Amino acid sequence: MTNGLNSTLRAPTDGWELKIAAVDNHLTPQGIWLIPYAIGFVCTALVPLWAAYRMPIKLYRQFILAMIVAALFSYVLYMAVPTYVVKPHATDVAGNDIFSQLLRHLYDADNDFSTHNAAPSQHVFYAIIIMCFMIRFRPNSRSFITWTIMGALVTVSALLTRQHHSPDLIAGYAVAVGAYYAGLALGERATFRLGDEAVPLEMSFGPLARRLRTRRTMSTIAPE
């Protein structure tokens, strides 16, 4: 969406190219980082869907509101303070392994759509928000280690696939932190007003829905 706005409302290079030269000028695209980069897309699409059936209603509402706040803020920030990142070309990728070849294909397909990205990195802030709420949902050491590693790998992959510069990652972290606390506050207020914290989400999938509703009700009313 941001890239669509970029190409529609202004030239791709209108604005500022954020870069820390000492870091970003010395990085080359590495195909192996396509794995966590792709996992970031999958998690952004599927974790909220999974959470709809597993998280307590209030926590799920806070989770979704945090993601919405982050997305809206990033669009407003882009419109007010446009930034850009020149996407790499397929020829920038070294190596002939399968991941390097896949990364070249990604660059070719991605550049057909748009030649620039923008800050903050949505890949980063979605990954960090997912990490925070999954740890909040399961506050144990295994969950903490798993999701912290996942968040770190997805974040680094945005840099080492060269889809973003390092300031985009820093901005993505900042947006994620602000959106996380905004989501907590907004979700708390909305749930209080609706008074549905102990009410299971209605789903229309027959016997599966009944089992999921039962499980969700138990997790909602379980003592903390």
pLDDT at 187: 94
**3-class SS string, 56-110:** CHHHHHHHHHHHHHHHHHHHHHHHHCCECEECCCHHHCCCCCHHHHHHHHHHHHH
pLDDT at 14: 62
Q: What are phi and psi of 85, to 5 degrees?
A: -130, 125
Q: Which pLDDT tens digits describe the chain residue by residue (224 residues)?
A: 555 555 555 555 566 677 777 777 777 777 788 889 889 989 999 999 999 988 999 999 999 999 999 999 988 887 777 777 776 666 666 767 777 777 777 776 665 556 566 778 888 999 999 999 999 999 999 999 999 999 999 999 988 887 787 888 888 999 999 999 999 999 999 998 888 776 655 554 444 444 454 555 555 444 44
Q: How many CA atoms lie within 13 A of 20 on its CB side?
A: 12
Render 40-51 in DSSP notation, one character per residue: HHHHHHHHHHHH
pLDDT at 223: 46
> Domain residue spans in the chain?
30-221
